[in-house]
Chains A and B, each alone.
Chain A
Amino acid sequence: MTITEIQNEIIDEFDMFEDWEERYQYMIDLGKSLPLIAEQYKTEDNIIKGCQSRVWVHADLEGDKVLFTADSDAIITKGIIAILIRTFSDQHPKAIIEANTDFIDKIGLKEHLSPTRANGLVSMIKQLKMYAIAYQTQLN
């Protein structure tokens, strides 16, 4: 699936929820259920320091696709990471570079991607794109 197709799928999923509690419970469950990153990659080098919660990101190139794993010490942040990883991982670097994150607004989680939120997510998205740019250069 393309990034846009995955994002539309997520928007459809979130449309089923009636209120914030159901949305957040879903994100919390996503955050709890997914093993997001191998322990050996939870290093200082891979850490993105937000004032509030910390985020770890690791990337690998397999064939012409980038595989991302990530984690956070806060569960809601982790739930959003799970959603972002679902859209960005296993995609071609070019698609990742060109993708946007407007769908987060549509599923009612806009405030978590505010640059002033200091949870590390904005920096995380930048980091995902930086990896994609690096791998794109490698593929060229």
Chain B
Amino acid sequence: MLDVQKIRTDFPILNRKINGKPLVYLDNAATSQTPQQVIDVIVDYYSNYNANIHRGVHTLSQEATDLYEGARLKIQEHFNIKHSHEVIMTAGTTHGINLVASGFSNLIEKGDEILVSALEHHSNIVPWQMLCERTGATLRVIPMDDNGQLIMADFGAMLSERTKLVFVNHISNALGTINPIETIIKKAHEVNAAVLIDGAQSCPHIKPDLQALDVDFYVTSAHKICGPTGVGMLYGKQDWLNKLPPYQGGGEMIAEVTFEKTTYADLPHKFEAGTPNISGGIAFGAALDYMNAIGFEAIAEYEHELLEYATDKLSQIEGLKIYGPKDLNEKTSVISFNIQGIHPYDIGTILDKMGIAVRTGHHCAQPVMDFFKIPGTVRASFAFYNTKAEVDALVEGVKKAKMMLS
């Protein structure tokens, strides 16, 4: 069992007051907060190691390179990745998705089909629409039911030899639904389709074993897992990464350059043009260390407890409707809700006046909102540093907002 009060002392921002009230931060699905241990790593890097990496003969450059490549090894170990060169450092999840989508331009042709789930974030819809426009391929949507869960029978029926790519988020950012990615990967492989899983929402809660999953591509962002913004990772199986052309040209990604011809560097550098986010990459590694020291089993167990507690309390408010799976074992600690007759923006505004940070709106998942015929929801998303007292504050805040707005 984790000691939440002790953990909270690691996060300086949790001492902040917002509008004169103690901050209750329940927007963790948008970005997680950063512990002092990770902040210290960033400060230490700029105080003691700042240098460009991979090319200097001087000591600082060598030390910075060791730290950065050390972070890559931590990522490899955390996600159980076979080769460290299968870890591509990116600017984040969206960057990783675009890198793959761009690379597939030459591998997809007219008549091919790309499947995405109805639960996707815009970042996992738009790049594929662009890819389809470039190639003439067709984008098809795996439908979901009223509980915000994918209809797997329909998915099975949609697969054919025309299916070249399947893209699904591990966990829906709008509803918290955990998608059955093991089955999706297995079935897609039966028709030789490649699978990309968006892990941005799962990594804060689950430690995925990418070799066991046998997934072809996996993307995530550090800032969802207590790391800094602007850095993330793309995992790709070696064979796939070798098939994809470089995404951006520049320094770092070349083996040899003449004006006649350039040969590209080996993996992973082929996809890492230019000076990377060095401190960010190192801090990404530190964030994984931090999370692993607490332990993902303890985190999942505690967050589930918060989810059960909050779901129970919020459900007692008359007129409040929660969207997403009814079985709490099939979702993570995200509660997406509305109160009948009240716009989510109004609830979010009143909660903010009380120091409570939630997300309101369509959560960059407009198709999900269109499905439920709503303009958006209020989304409270809990992390392992949240407390039951904060859930109580949310419930009181929602009651007050309802009273003021009804």
Asked if B345 CB lies within 8 Å of chain A CBs, one says yes
Which of A28, A52, A73, A77 has a CB less than 8 Å from the CB of B360?
A: A52
Q: Binary interface profile of A, 107-125, with partner B (CB < 8 Å = 1, else 0)? A: 0000000000011000000
A positions within 8 Å CB-CB of B:
20-21, 24-25, 28, 51-54, 73-77, 118-119
Decide if B361 touches A52 in the complex (CB within 8 Å). Answer: yes
User: Per-residue CB proximity of B358-378 to A under 8 Å, as 1/0?
Assistant: 001110000000000001100
Q: Are B346 and A74 in contact (CB under 8 A)?
A: yes
Question: Would you give the shortest CB distance from A15 to chain B, in whole angstroms?
Answer: 19
Task: Give Cα A77–Cα B342 distance, bound, in whole angstroms.
Answer: 12
Q: Please determine whether B19 and A20 come into contact, CB atoms closer than 8 angstroms.
A: yes
The smallest beta-carbon distance between A7 and chain B, in angstroms, is 23
Closest 5 CB pairs of A and B: A74-B343, A74-B345, A52-B345, A53-B345, A52-B361
Q: Which residue of A lies closest to B341 (CB)?
A: A75
Residue B238 interfacial (CB < 8 Å): no
Q: Please give, as numbers and ranges, the residues of chain B lying within 8 Å of A54 by CB-CB distance.
A: 375
Instruction: Please name all residues of chain A whose beta carbon is closer than 8 Å to the beta carbon of B19 when the two chains form the complex.
Output: 20
Q: Does A75 lie within 8 Å of B362, measured CB to CB?
A: no
On whether the beta carbons of A21 and B375 are closer than 8 Å, the reply is no
Residues of B near A20 (CB, < 8 A) are: 19, 353
Instruction: Please encode chain B, from 330 to 367, with 1 for each CB lying within 8 Å of some chain A CB and 0 for all others.
Output: 00000000000011111011100100000011100000
- CA of A24 to CA of B349 in the docked complex: distance in angstroms? 10
Q: Is the CB of B405 within 8 A of A28?
A: yes
B1 interface hit (Cβ, 8 Å): no
Output the least CB separation between B324 and chain A (Å).
21
Q: Contacts of A75 on B, CB cut-off 8 Å? A: 342-343, 346, 405
> Does any Cβ of A come within 8 Å of B404's Cβ?
yes
User: In the complex, A51→B345 CA distance in Å?
Assistant: 10
- Bound-state CA distance A54–B344 (Å) is 12
Inter-chain contact B404/A21, CB cutoff 8 Å:
yes
Query: Which of chain B's residues have a CB closer than 8 A to the CB of A28?
Result: 346, 404-405
In the bound complex, residues from chain A placing their C-beta under 8 Å from that of B348 are 52
User: In whole angstroms, how far apart are the Cα atoms of A36 and B21 in the complex?
Assistant: 34
**CB <8 Å contact, A76 and B345:** yes
Closest to A53 in B: B345
Q: Are B404 and A25 in contact (CB under 8 A)?
A: yes
**Chain B residue with minimal CB distance to A32?**
B405
Given A24-B350, A53-B375, 12 additional A-B pairs, CB 8 A: A21-B404, A24-B404, A25-B404, A28-B405, A53-B343, A73-B375, A75-B405, A76-B346, A76-B349, A76-B350, A77-B345, A77-B346
Q: How far is the CB of A48 from chain B (nearest CB, A)?
A: 14
Smallest CB–CB gap between B367 and chain A, Å?
15
Q: Which residues on A sit within 8 Å (CB–CB) of B343?
A: 53, 73-75
By a CB distance below 8 angstroms, the chain B residues around A21 are 353, 404
B365 CB to nearest chain A CB (Å) = 12
B:374-393 near A, CB below 8 Å: 375-376
Which of B343, B348, B350, B375 neighbours the largest number of chain A CB atoms within 10 Å of its CB? B343
Contact with A along B387-406 (1 / 0, CB 8 A): 00000000000000000110
- Residue pairs across A and B with Cβ atoms less than 8 A apart, 5 shown, are A51-B362, A52-B361, A76-B345, A77-B346, A118-B361
> Are B361 and A51 in contact (CB-based, < 8 A)?
yes
Q: How far is the CB of A123 from chain B (nearest CB, A)?
A: 15
How many Å lie between the Cα of A53 and that of B346 in the bound state? 9
**Chain A nearest CB: distance from B351 CB in Å?**
12
- How far does the alpha carbon of A20 sit from the alpha carbon of B18 in the complex, in Å? 13
Contacts of B376 in A (CB 8 A): 52
Q: How far is the CA of A76 from the CA of B404 in the complex (A)?
A: 11
Residues of B within 8 A of A119 (CB): 345
Question: How far is B137's CA from A121's CA once the two chains are assembled, in angstroms?
Answer: 40
Alpha-carbon distance A54/B353, docked complex (angstroms): 21
